[in-house]
Amino acid sequence: MSYSSTTHFQTLYKKTNPEFGFTAKTPAEFTIWQDRFRSRLRDVLGLNRIQNDLKDFQPSAYQLGEEDTGEFIRQRWVLQVEPTVPLPFILLKPKDIHGLLPLVLTPHGHSKNTELYAGIVTSPEEEQFMLEGDRDIAVQAVREGYLVIAPTTRGFGETRTEQGKTEDAQNSCRDLLVHDLLVGRTPTGDRVWDISRLLDWALESLPVDLERIAITGNSTGGTISLFAAALDERIKLSAPGSYFCTFAGSIGSIHHCECNYVPGLLTLGEMADIAGLIAPRPFMAINGKEDPIYPIDEVYKAFEQLKKIYAVSGVPENVELFVGESGHRYYKAGVWQFMRRYFSQK
């Protein structure tokens, strides 16, 4: 016999019996499932360990600069999310603010997206790349009249390792993963922690409407958008781009960055189960029909399961899938009208 790694790994996945694979039939069973699953997921991601280690730590923020683009205000900030982790973020604000506004968090993925999301480019080629893939996500949101936080994703930018900065590596995700694993943490858990601390700061410092808080980003930004909303219920709407799929059919069968992997995740549930922790809050998955690393057939499979969860939660109308005609990129065509539908009701 010849060894087939694909056969071996897919056999492992098929034999897995997820502890929190969704089987609830009633709203009461749904609530019990969510509470138990959310607690276990926090533990597996390392969030409970982070919270315990930092129980006496108080995050603080300081502003680095501000510019008036003529269309909106763009500020640079740093939030100390851990005693040893200063996390840069860009804040976009409408020029005229009256009353409380919706807040949108826009975590980025594997490229220079912190800057691109906020509309900052250094060449015509970079601008073309940004506009062709709808990658100026934070700018799109502020044009909708929302407050926007475009954070650095942990392991990128100023949070790369010293070697990563010296070599101008795109990211330090592998280093982040292996060191996290030694102490019972994960990159996904770190990044969810950062989003929650940014949200703490925003609610203390900005005129935010508590009932209109959303998160959306592409690729790894989509990963963060899904997990953060699943675990932080203050986020009222989630729209992950180029991420929602099945684990077995995406990161379990196609090469991805190491930061995607969480020990034992499939023994808890599939991606649709994790997205089900967002229900009954509105959820839109944004995917490309030709995305090579999140195959569209697996996306549809996951979405069918997620629809069942939303049906049991009592709001089948609160979950949607938008499929763009191209590949691994953001698609703004569906997301902002989806967000308007819910935010305009408040």
Q: Which pLDDT score is estimated for 345?
A: 53
Q: Cα separation of 285 and 267, whole Å?
A: 23
- Output the pLDDT for position 113: 66
- What is the per-residue pLDDT for 241? 97
Q: Would residue 153 count as lying in a domain?
A: yes
d(CA 277, CA 322): 20
With a CB cutoff of 8 Å and minimum separation 6, the contacts of 88 are 64, 76, 77, 78, 114, 151, 152, 157, 158
Residue with tokens 């709001």: 315
Write down the pLDDT at residue 3. Answer: 94
**Could you tell me the CATH number of the domain that includes residue 300?**
3.40.50.1820
User: For residue 181, is it within any domain?
Assistant: yes
* Residue 143, amino acid: R
Based on the structure, what is the number of domains in the chain? 1
User: Domain residues for 270?
Assistant: 22-343
Angle 156-43-269 (CA atoms, 0-180°, nearest 5)?
90
Tell me 266's DSSP state.
H
* CA nearest to 330, candidates 217, 251, 252, 220: 217
The answer to whether residue 215 is domain-embedded is: yes
Question: Residue 200: how many CB atoms within 10 A of its CB?
Answer: 17
Looking at residue 1, its pLDDT comes to 73
Is 6 inside a domain boundary?
A: no
pLDDT the model gives residue 112: 67
Query: Considering the domain boundaries, does residue 289 fall inside one?
Result: yes
Pairing of strands 72-82, 85-94: antiparallel
Q: Check whether the bond before 59 is cis (ω within 30° of 0).
A: no
242 in Cβ contact with 23 (< 8 Å): no
Spatial CB neighbours of 220, under 8 Å, sequence gap ≥ 6: 107, 108, 109, 110, 153, 243, 257, 259, 260
pTM above 0.75, yes or no: yes
Is there a domain that residue 35 lies in? yes
**Residuewise pLDDT in 10s, the chain (346 residues):** 799 998 999 999 999 999 999 999 999 999 999 999 999 999 999 999 999 999 999 999 999 999 999 999 999 999 999 999 999 999 999 998 889 999 999 999 997 668 999 999 999 999 999 999 999 999 999 999 999 999 999 999 999 999 999 999 999 999 999 999 999 999 999 999 999 999 999 999 999 999 999 999 999 999 999 999 999 999 999 999 999 999 999 999 999 999 999 999 999 999 999 999 999 999 999 999 999 999 999 999 999 999 999 999 999 999 999 999 999 999 999 899 999 999 985 5
In a domain, 9, yes or no: no
Tokens for 294? Answer: 């999140």
Scanning the chain, the segments in alpha helix (DSSP H) are 5-15, 27-45, 47-53, 113-117, 124-132, 137-143, 162-166, 173-182, 187-205, 220-231, 265-268, 271-275, 296-313, 332-343
pLDDT for position 117: 95
Is residue 1 in some structural domain? no
